[in-house]
């Protein structure tokens, strides 16, 4: 989320910082082909291929900081900002609906992926809810706050959606999450340079409530090689080949993994005071940050790990109600490494 990003800006020598963080938090497992890191990406690439550790348990000190986790039924309200096609919306809706689909769906499943998120508990020992419902949706097709959004104006978009005169999104302080999705021609602060999405909570002074929300952008036109990797590859890393995406929409198939990342983190750290690693609460390293870029057994560094390939050539690692998806793994507090429903053990 926000943190995996900002750190890259703070150091003049990303490779050294990456190595430092490796020893502090085991972060070298988290990987995306960010543009500002690539001149020394060979360090990462070598590290990745030599050490396929799916995250390193030794250095990761994931801690519970006593705040709430989402133990009640979770309801995800979507704001579609800009122009979205019906097929694009259906892919994303099905992913969310698949999280708590009944267990008899074919494995590896999206609901199996969520089981790792359910391992996180609050002070009373209650687990993250297994139930994630798709809530109401709001179209902001005419870009109420313009074509360029900042971190702050994103909160105003949410405010507009929950205070709209017609069909406002419900205020749902217990299990409600607000997911702002921006179309491929909308610019968002730091998008593509060091974030593909992030989550936080709204400020009562702007929105009236502290509501957990996330933003995820469609990178199809702006940086598919970064935010829809591995369904597109950046031209500044020679030798990488794009994989075929499972639902025929590179930008949307890439967004699904980022949406999964943010939902897992919002469930386990909704007010950014529950489950995270790292010393600095303004740069929390959360359960999905630790596993970014890992989709299967052996993953780490620039290696995605073992995924599945269907007869049509598409790569995925889990099944939803009808569609296939590729979603990054998340950190398990029980086994102390990244895991997912397609793990080969």
Ligand X SMILES: *[C@@H]1O[C@H](CO)[C@@H](O)[C@H](O)[C@H]1NC(C)=O
**Would you count residue 13 as binding ligand X (CB under 6 A)?**
yes
- Which are the contacts of 151, defined by CB distance < 8 A and separation ≥ 6? 189, 190, 198, 200
Shortest approach of ligand X to residue 115 CB, angstroms?
6
Shorter beta-carbon distance to ligand X: residue 131 or 163: 131
Q: Are 268 and 257 in contact (CB under 8 A)?
A: no
Shortest approach of ligand X to residue 261 CB, angstroms?
20
**Would you count residue 334 as binding ligand X (CB under 6 A)?**
yes
Largest CA distance in the chain: 57
Shortest approach of ligand X to residue 215 CB, angstroms?
25
The single residue listed with the structure tokens 């943190």 is: 3
Shorter beta-carbon distance to ligand X: residue 13 or 163: 13
Neighbours of 192 (CB within 10 A): 18
Measured distance CA(136)–CA(131) in Å, rounded: 16
Shorter beta-carbon distance to ligand X: residue 175 or 251: 175
Shorter beta-carbon distance to ligand X: residue 13 or 49: 13
Shorter beta-carbon distance to ligand X: residue 89 or 130: 130
Q: Are 234 and 35 in contact (CB under 8 A)?
A: yes
By CB under 6 A, what part of segment 117-136 binds ligand X? 118-119, 121, 127, 131
- 10 Å CB burial of residue 12 (0-12, 13-18, 19+) is exposed
**Would you count residue 46 as binding ligand X (CB under 6 A)?**
no
Please report, for the chain, how many H helices and E strands are present, in that order: 9, 15
Shortest approach of ligand X to residue 69 CB, angstroms?
10
Shorter beta-carbon distance to ligand X: residue 81 or 275: 275
3-state secondary structure string across 273-309: CCEEECCCCCCCECCCHHHCCCCCCCCECCECCCCEE
**Would you count residue 15 as binding ligand X (CB under 6 A)?**
yes
**Would you count residue 144 as binding ligand X (CB under 6 A)?**
no
Q: Which residues bind ligand X (CB under 6 A)?
A: 13, 15, 36, 39-40, 73, 118-119, 121, 127, 131, 333-334
């Amino acid at each position: 989320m926000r943190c995996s990003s900002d750190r890259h800006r703070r150091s003049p020598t990303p490779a050294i910082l990456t190595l430092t963080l490796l020893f502090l938090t085991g972060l070298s497992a988290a990987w995306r082909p960010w543009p500002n890191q690539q001149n020394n990406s060979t360090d990462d690439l070598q590290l990745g291929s030599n050490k396929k550790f799916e995250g390193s348990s030794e250095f990761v000190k994931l801690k519970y900081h006593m705040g709430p986790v989402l133990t009640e039924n979770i309801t995800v309200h979507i704001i579609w900002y800009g122009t979205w096609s019906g097929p694009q919306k259906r892919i994303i809706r099905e992913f969310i609906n698949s999280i708590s689909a009944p267990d008899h769906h074919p494995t590896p499943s999206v609901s199996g992926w969520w089981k790792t998120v359910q391992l996180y508990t609050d002070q009373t020992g209650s687990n993250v809810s297994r139930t994630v419902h798709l809530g109401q949706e709001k179209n902001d097709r005419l870009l109420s706050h313009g074509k360029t959004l900042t971190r702050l104006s994103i909160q105003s978009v949410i405010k507009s959606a929950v205070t709209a005169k017609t069909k406002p999104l419900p205020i749902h302080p217990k299990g409600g999450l607000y997911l702002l999705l921006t179309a491929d021609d909308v610019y968002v602060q730091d998008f593509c340079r060091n974030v593909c999405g992030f989550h936080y909570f709204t400020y009562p002074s702007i929105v009236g409530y502290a509501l957990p929300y996330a933003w995820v952008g469609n990178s199809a036109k702006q940086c598919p090689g970064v935010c829809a990797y591995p369904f597109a590859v950046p031209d500044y890393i020679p030798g990488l080949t794009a994989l075929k995406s499972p639902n025929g929409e590179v930008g949307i198939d890439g967004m699904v993994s980022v949406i999964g990342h943010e939902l897992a983190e919002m469930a386990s750290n909704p007010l950014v005071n529950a489950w995270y690693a790292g010393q600095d609460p303004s740069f929390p390293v959360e359960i999905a940050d630790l596993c970014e870029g890992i989709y299967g057994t052996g993953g780490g560094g620039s290696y995605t790990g073992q995924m599945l390939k269907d007869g049509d050539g598409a790569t995925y690692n889990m099944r939803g109600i009808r569609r296939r998806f590729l979603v990054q793994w998340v950190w398990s507090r029980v086994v102390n490494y990244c895991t997912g429903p397609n793990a080969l053990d």
